[in-house]
Copies of this chain bind each other. A is one copy, B any other.
Amino acid sequence: MKIGFIGLGAMGRGMATRLIEAGHEVHVWNRSPRPVEELAQRGAHRLESPQGAFAGDAAVTMLADDDAVRAAILGSDALRAANKKLVHIVMSTVSVAFARELEKVHADAGIAYVSAPVMGRPEVAAAGKLNILAAGDAASIERVQPLFDLIGQKTWPLGAEPHQANVAKLAMNFLLASAIEATAEATALVERYKVDPAKLTEVMTATLFAAPAYAIYSKLILEGEFKPGFKLTLGLKDVRLALAAGEAAGVPLPFASVVRDNLVDAIGHGDADKDWSAVSLVARRRAGLPSKTGGR
């Protein structure tokens, strides 16, 4: 296939490389030039502007947020000038409101639009092992399924309206944030009773909570380093988007509100650039515990 690829951040680079290595003709664009050079050396074609990405069979957009997608895609006549047979796959974690706006814009332009945010970190993307949450009309998803199969270990179809995939992605990140907060509160509680929090997380992750979410984040919480990872400000962005999605549909999310307050607290205390599991420092601080387990 001839594929346009917009956005070569840590995630996008790995994804585009997978497509190139599988023999596809991949045309890439990025705001800063270095990743474009890097990909060109692996066989990608350089694009001068995002518009060029819409000339082939599929275009993949993997930019940071609403604003970045808006600037790259809606700021030009990219969609109106696009190949009418192309499928545009937006894999960014954008707001539900913006996903709905994209639905309208694509319908107006007569271009197929699939929303397909992903779960997984950069190394998972590079290994082609992402989980892909996909929504859009079934025929369009089917056409790009071969691309998904190169990028992800599994595609999860979530509905015919693209924004439904975004709701599901935000729900997943909300669940992660809640698992982090719950673990933070639980470990703060036991530590105040001089129970080694590592023992609690050992029980958790060996029994009822034997899941990657708890294994990964309880380890980060115990270590107390909080190297990103997933930056706390991005975590706050996603929790805010989940709250906004709830607001638009009349769904209160009291757990999300607690997490939001704590993320704000963490930012106010200088932890904005740490991994979002640093929100656990709020529970520690409120419990009168030192910022690291065991006061080390």
How far is B212's CA from A31's CA once the two chains are assembled, in angstroms?
A: 44
Looking at A21-29, A181-189, A220-228, the stretch in contact with chain B turns out to be A181-189
Q: Is A255 in contact with chain B by the CB < 8 A criterion?
A: yes
CB < 8 Å neighbour of A268 from B158, B168, B251, B260: B251
Copies held by the complex: 4
Q: Once the chains bind, are B213 and A186 in contact (CB under 8 Å)?
A: no
A81 in the interface, Cβ–Cβ < 8 Å?
no
Compute how far the CA of A154 lies from the CA of B203 in the bound complex, rounded to whole angstroms.
10
CB of A172 within 8 Å of the partner chain: yes
Q: Is A164 an interface residue (CB 8 A)?
A: yes
Task: Give the CA-CA distance A118 to B153 in the complex, in Å.
Answer: 38
State whether the Cβ of A60 lies closer than 8 Å to any Cβ in chain B: no
Q: Across the interface, do A119 and B207 meet the contact criterion of CB distance under 8 Å?
A: yes
Tell me which of A133, A256, A287 has the highest count of chain B C-beta atoms within 10 A of its own C-beta: A287
Residues of B within 8 A of A267 (CB): 247, 250
Which 4 A-B pairs rank lowest in CB-CB distance, beginning with the nearest? Answer: A250-B268, A211-B211, A178-B182, A257-B257
Q: Can you offer 19 A-B residue contacts whose CB atoms are under 8 A?
A: A119-B207, A131-B207, A133-B203, A158-B196, A164-B190, A174-B186, A175-B186, A178-B182, A178-B255, A182-B255, A188-B251, A189-B253, A211-B211, A250-B269, A251-B268, A252-B262, A252-B268, A257-B261, A286-B286
